[in-house]
Amino acid sequence: MKKLLLFVIACAIVPGLAAADVISIPDALDQTGTYGVANDFEGDLEISGTYYLVGTMTVTNTGAYAYSYNTPAIGGVQFGQAWNSANWAIVGGGKTVSDVPIPEATPTLLVLKVNTTQGTSDLFINPDLDGLEPTDPADPNHITRAVGGVATGVGFAGDATSGTNDLVVDYEGFEVYYNGETPFGMSVTQQPQDALAFSDEPVSFSVEVASSSTVSYQWKIDDGDGDTSNDLDVEGATDATLSFATAAGNWGTYYCEVTSDGGFTLLSDSATLAIKEEVCHWAFEGDLTDGTGNGYDGTAYYEADTVIDPNYVTGIDGQALDADTILVEHDLSEQQSWQEFTVNLWVKSDTDTQTSYAGIFNNGKAAGDDFQIGCGTTVYRFNGSVAVNDMAPLSTTEWTMLTVTCDAAGTKVYADGSYVGENGSRRVDFGRFAVGANRGDGLFFDGAIDDLRIFNYAKTAEEVATDYYAITGEAVCTDRPAWDVAGPNGEPDCVVDLLDLASFATEWMDCGLTPAEACSL
Residues 6+ apart with CB under 8 A from 74: 53, 112, 114, 151, 153, 154, 155, 176
pLDDT at 15: 27
Rounded CA separation 482/470 (Å): 27
Same domain for 270 and 294: no
Q: Are strands 2-5 and 168-178 parallel, antiparallel or unpaired?
A: antiparallel
Does residue 411 lie in a domain region? yes
Q: What is the CATH number of the domain that holds 243?
A: 2.60.40.10
What integer pLDDT is reported at residue 406 of this predicted model?
A: 94
Q: What is the CATH number of the domain that holds 311?
A: 2.60.120.200
pLDDT at 19: 30
Q: Report the 10 Å Cβ neighbour count for 162.
A: 12
Neighbours of 504 (CB within 10 A): 12
Q: Determine, yes or no, domain membership for 314.
A: yes
495 in the same domain as 402: no
pTM of the entire structure? Answer: 0.64
Q: For residues 462 and 519, state if they share a domain.
A: no
Degrees (nearest 5) of the Cα angle 386, 391, 397? 145
User: pLDDT tens digit string along 205-262?
Assistant: 999 998 867 889 999 999 888 788 889 999 999 999 999 999 999 999 999 999 887 6
Specify the pairing of strand 108-115 against strand 50-60.
antiparallel
DSSP 69: -
Query: Domain holding 133: CATH number?
Result: 2.60.120.560
Task: Please indicate, yes or no, whether residues 101 and 53 belong to a single structural domain of this protein.
Answer: yes
pLDDT (tens digit per residue) in 372-386: 999 999 999 999 867
In degrees and rounded to multiples of 5, residue 208 shows phi and psi of -125, 135
Secondary structure of residue 470 in the 3-state scheme: helix
* Spatial separation of the C-alpha atoms in residues 476 and 173, rounded to whole Å: 61
Q: Shortest CA distance to 52 belongs to which of 209, 186, 183? A: 183
Sign of the dihedral through C-alpha 422, 424, 430, 435: negative
Question: For residue 418, is it within any domain?
Answer: yes
Dihedral class, residue 252 (left if φ above 0, else alpha if ψ from -120 to 50, else beta): left
State whether 212 and 350 are in the same domain: no
Beta strand 241-244 with 203-206: parallel, antiparallel or unpaired?
antiparallel
Q: First CA to last CA across the chain, in angstroms?
A: 63
Q: Is residue 183 included in any domain, yes or no?
A: no
Which of 309, 193, 214 lies closest to 263, judged by CA?
A: 214
Domain containing 229 equals: 188-275
> In terms of domains, do 320 and 459 share one?
yes
Please state, as a whole number, how many other Cβ atoms lie within 10 Å of the Cβ of residue 133: 24
- Inside any domain, residue 518: yes
Q: Which residues, given as ranges, of the chain have pLDDT below 70?
A: 1-26, 33-39, 69, 130, 157-164, 212, 262, 366-369, 385
Say whether both 406 and 515 belong to one domain.
Answer: no
- Verify that 239 and 269 share a domain, yes or no: yes
Strands in 283-398 per DSSP E? 299-302, 306-307, 312-314, 319-322, 326-337, 341-349, 359-362, 372-375, 379-384, 387-393
Of 360, 382, 342, nearest to 437 by C-alpha is 360
Distance of CA 181 to the CA centre of its chain: 22
Which residue, 228, 266, 7, is CA-closest to 131? 266
pLDDT value of residue 508: 83
Q: Could you give the C-alpha distances from 325 to 348, 366, 375, 436, 460, in angstroms and in order?
A: 15, 19, 15, 7, 33
Cis peptide, bond prior to residue 515, ω within 30 of zero: yes
- Picking from 225, 241, 275, the residue at the C-terminal end of a domain is 275
200 & 348 share domain: no
Same domain, 314 and 399: yes
Our count of domains for the chain comes to: 4
Task: Work out whether strand 120-125 and strand 108-115 pair parallel, antiparallel, or are unpaired.
Answer: antiparallel
pLDDT for the residue numbered 34:
52
Residues 230, 82: Cα–Cα separation, whole Å: 31
**Distance in angstroms (rounded) separating the CA atoms of residues 36 and 28:** 8
Sign of CA dihedral 66, 67, 70, 71: positive
Do the domain assignments include residue 78?
Answer: yes
Cα separations (Å) of 285 from 282, 327, 328, 399? 8, 17, 14, 17
Given a contact cutoff of 8 angstroms between Cβ atoms, the answer to whether 428 and 339 are in contact is yes
In a domain, 50, yes or no: yes
Same domain, 9 and 86: yes
Q: Give Cα 441 to chain centroid, integer Å.
A: 26
Last-in-domain residue among 244, 275, 306 = 275
283 and 417 inside one domain: yes
- Strand runs labelled E in 338-446: 341-349, 359-362, 372-375, 379-384, 387-393, 400-407, 410-415, 418-423, 429-435
Tell me the sheet residues that pair with 81: 88
**Does residue 210 lie within any of the structural domains?**
yes
